[in-house]
Structure 1
Amino acid sequence: MNARRTGREAGHLTGEHVIVTDLGYGDAGKGTVVDWLCATGSAGAVVRFNGGGQAAHNVVLPDGRHHTFAQFGAGTFSGVPTHLSRFTVVDPLALAAEAAHLREMRVPDPFGLLTVDRDALLATPYHVAAGRARELARGGGRHGSCGMGVGETVSYALRHPDLAPTVGDCENPARLARKLHVLREALKTTPTTGVVAEPSVEDCVAAYRAFAERVTLADSSFLAALLRGGPVIFEGAQGVLLDEWHGFHPYTTWSTTTFANALTLLDGAAAVRLGVLRSYTPRHGPGPLVTEDPALTAAEPHNETGPWQGPFRIGHFDAVAHRYALAVTGGADALALTHLDVPVSRMCVSYDIGEIPVGTAGDLDGQARLTQRLTEARPRYVDGVDDWPAAVTEAVGVPVLLGSWGPTSTDKTLLGSMSSPHRV
């Protein structure tokens, strides 16, 4: 079942624009799916459409090379360029570290494969320090921040839209310096154990100016040209169950994790909505995980307890939570199902409290009440699942198009065909 399909055989999927979105709490395997799409197809670019440096998309090549993609797209090993859209939070210092590792992995010029929208928000060490201090102050009530300052960057931009640094400011050192001085004062915190050291504004300006000179900065017309030029893969970050509006508050992200941002960027162009799920349901850190089972074990070489996220937790496949994710996204055209090599056989098909209701976007009090209900929910299982693609298709009502029996692109099998992509 794990024979590699050729690009021609996969063409009905990889010849289209594709939006790759995690329908869980993250960690479902978006990176390995994007890697397969780029390795077997003719993608012209990978577009990141939410999140920022907190993403962790693991890609393993058949020759053993491994990289955890954060801001670079997961098609980089195939030479597919990355475009960071205006919906991403860009951290140039973290990008430099990621590029250095990619060079070690024999990608000769990572920055030569990168374009960035000038309107994207700029994450700085000041955001990182403030975000970590805020999370530490929560004590036992921590939300599970990744500690990369993404939430603080978005929050500051919402409060001070005209003062928030953007990637375009990196081309104007004087303007950037003014914004960074104001930002640093606004976010000044008492030093706390575990909070990063804050470099001077002058050092930040110099680093960001060098970044702007090294990569190609673009405006909105650039993406429009990409879309006209051939198939583009939109790579999401995190998961729908962590969405800023539809996730289980307060254990959420400051990012829209549904298909919505990608659909906005597509501006009416057709695209396949590809949801990604595992054969079991994981999450990092605190928050609801109705099917969590301490007795359930699986090898997780690239997922472990982090100092900010907290422990990596796993539960049985949760069809109820994934049906909810599909409902709040408006549905998917197909699914990619990963980790099929893991010997699991139990699926949650219902809760004792019924289906998860879809609330009103923006009603965070309502989402918090929903979170409380989920902490009291009890799963109802079916055992003996042996044909996971068929079982998942039946349980959530969306066909499994791609199956993954391992981490590399050669471990993927195309299981069906798609008649036509979704059009907005």
Structure 2
Amino acid sequence: MGYGDEGKGVFTDYLSSKLSYPVVIRFNGGHQCGHTVKHADGRFHVFSNFGAGSFRNTPTFFSRFCTIDPTGIAREFNALRRSGINPALFVDPLAMVTTPFDKFYNVNNRANLVHGTVGVGFGATVERNEGPYKLYAQDLFFPTIFRHKLEAVHDYYRTKYKARGLETCIEALELEILRTDQFMRDVDAARGIIRLLTEKQLFATGFENHIFEGGQGILLDMDFGIFPNVTRSNTTSKNAFEILNRNGQPTNAAVYYLTRAYQTRHGNGWMSAEKYPVALINNAHETNGPHGRQGEFRTGILDTDMLRYALQCDANFAGDAERQMVISCIDQLTSYQYLSAGNVLTAPGREAFLKQIALCDRVLTNEGPGSDTIRLWR
């Protein structure tokens, strides 16, 4: 419901443990996501290139709305195999492929760094694919075609650097000497991991439940977030319902709206409760921090107006779907403060706090780092 980092991985793991014969469908974002799953048996992983149901042996499907990274796929697959997991990865033939050139441009684009970036080429990949320099998952399986398209992508960035002028001449030189040997080896490895599958084939496979795992928070949506600190993605349920509708699937879905019990933002941009940071406890398993290219991880008390705005944004696409809230990290609070209409209010206890922030008829809560502590509140 906010800017991400609100328990999508944990809840995907939970649904994968409760539903029969499920598949996880990634319907926005891509390899830039970091969805943390921790199991009571000690297994711990931050999922990026595979769905967060993989510990439950739930297959993953990356839709055409997503980016994929052959290098990330190869490395994460090997890491999961070392953990005793043999994950299944289906990819839409028209999913967008990230290259080393996209990553290079991403982390050397000054404006992009100011606006905020994970630094793995997601935004650059989407922008490039909006033009004629497209690179699809299906191209991985045609090596000659792929090599020529990869060189065309290289030309695309040569042109961009030329247009930016002499101040970027060193970066342009670095772009020219950027080697792709390892990337091509990763492409070979990814080709053996990925199974291409169209949406129509996916729904004909016989999965009984389809878990649509969102990639980022609604307040980062490219149509509803506050520009320029947004993502190049629709982070509402828009893409999920588009996939269901165009494949003739029943849309009697349940949409789960996730939030921590406090507001967070990892990276640059406005956050309504930033003036009211939260002192946290029981957060030893927090995977967000000041490291990486995103910048500072900020906290603030929960803002019910922002939650209502997120619900309104999604109501444009979810229609009559059942709406449920999932409120996590309640155990990390030392007090029960929240914002409403710009005013700081304090609830006398946990139950009173939940009554004020629960905006759906059905609400689940989580007071731990894993899915084993998720409970139905009402």
Instruction: Give the TM interval when normalised to the shorter protein.
Output: 0.7 to 0.9
Match of 2:201 in 1: 222
The aligned residue for residue 12 of structure 1 is none
CA contact (8 A) 1:43 1:231 kept: yes
The residue matched to 1:398 in structure 2 has which SS?
coil
Q: CA deviation at 1:185?
A: 1.8
What corresponds to 1:127 in structure 2?
102
Return the offset for 1:179: 1.0
What is the distance in 2 between the residues matched to 1:210 and 1:184? Answer: 22
Counterpart for residue 166 of structure 2: none
Q: Please show how residues 279-358 of structure 1 align to structure 2 within 5 Å.
A: 279-293=261-275, 295-298=277-280, 299=283, 301-330=286-315, 333-343=323-333, 344-350=335-341
Q: How does the TM-score come out when normalised to structure 1? A: 0.78
Structure 1 segment 371-382 matched on structure 2, within 5 A: 379-382=342-345
**Cα separation, 2, equivalents of 1:117 and 1:41:** 23
Q: Structure 1 residue 61: deviation in Å?
A: 0.2
Question: What's the counterpart of residue 421 of structure 1?
Answer: none
Given candidates 414, 420, 424, the residue that maps to 2:376 is: 414
Quote the RMSD (CA, aligned, Å).
2.3
* Paired AA for residue 324 in structure 2: A
* Offset, 1:293: 4.1
Contact persistence 1:323–1:396 (CA under 8 A): no
Matches within 5 A, 1:129-144: 129-134=104-109, 137-138=110-111, 142-144=114-116
Matched residue type, 2:94: D
Which secondary structure state, in structure 2, belongs to the residue aligned with residue 100 of structure 1? helix
How far the C-alpha of 1:50 sits from its partner, in A, is 0.8
* Equivalent residue letter for 2:350: D
Equivalent in the alignment of 2:82 = 104
Shift of 1:288: 0.8
Provide the secondary structure at the position in 2 that maps to 1:237: coil
Counterpart residue number, 2:121: 149
Residue from 169, 181, 187 that aligns with 1:208: 187
**Alpha-carbon distance between aligned partners in 1 of 2:46 and 2:361, rounded to the nearest angstrom:** 28
Distance 1:52 1:106 in 2: 24
Is contact 2:74–2:189 with CA below 8 Å preserved after alignment? no
Asked if 1:62 is matched to 2:40, the reply is yes
TM-fit CA distance, 1:214: 2.9
Distance 1:400 1:198, change over 3 A: farther
- The answer to whether the 8 Å contact 1:43/1:233 transfers is no
Task: Write the letter of the residue equivalent to 1:338.
Answer: S
After superposition, the Cα gap between the structure-2 partners of 1:198 and 1:240, relative to the gap in structure 1 and judged at 3 Å, is: farther
Post-superposition shift, 1:401? 2.3
Q: Which runs of 5+ in 2 are unaligned?
A: 162-168
Q: Indicate the SS of the match to 1:101.
A: helix
**Aligned-residue identity in percent:** 30
2:165 counterpart residue number: none
**Structure 2 equivalent of residue 241 of structure 1:** 219
Which residue number corresponds to residue 66 of structure 2? 88
C-alpha separation in 1, matches of 2:374 and 2:57 = 20
Q: 2:199, 2:243 within 8 Å by CA — same for their partners in 1?
A: no
Q: Deviations over 1:20-55 (max 9, x none)?
A: xxx100001111111111123324211111111111
Q: What is the TM-score with the length of structure 2 in the denominator? A: 0.87
**Match in the other structure for 2:164:** none
**2:360 aligned with 1:398, yes or no?**
yes
Partners in 1 of 2:186 and 2:229 — Cα distance?
33
Larger RCO (CA under 8 A, 6+ residues apart): 1
Q: Contact conserved, 2:73 with 2:190, CA < 8 A, in 1?
A: no
User: Which residue in 1 is equivalent to 2:131?
Assistant: 159
Aligned-residue offset at 1:206: 4.5
Supply the AA of the counterpart residue of 1:121.
M
> Structure 2: how far apart are the matches of 1:393 and 1:329?
22
Q: Does 1:42 align with 2:20?
A: yes
Residues 395-404 or 81-90, more deviating: 395-404
Unaligned runs of 5+ in 1: 1-22, 351-378, 417-424
Q: How many residues align?
A: 355
Say yes or no: does 1:259 pair with 2:259.
no
- Name 2:147's counterpart in structure 1: 177
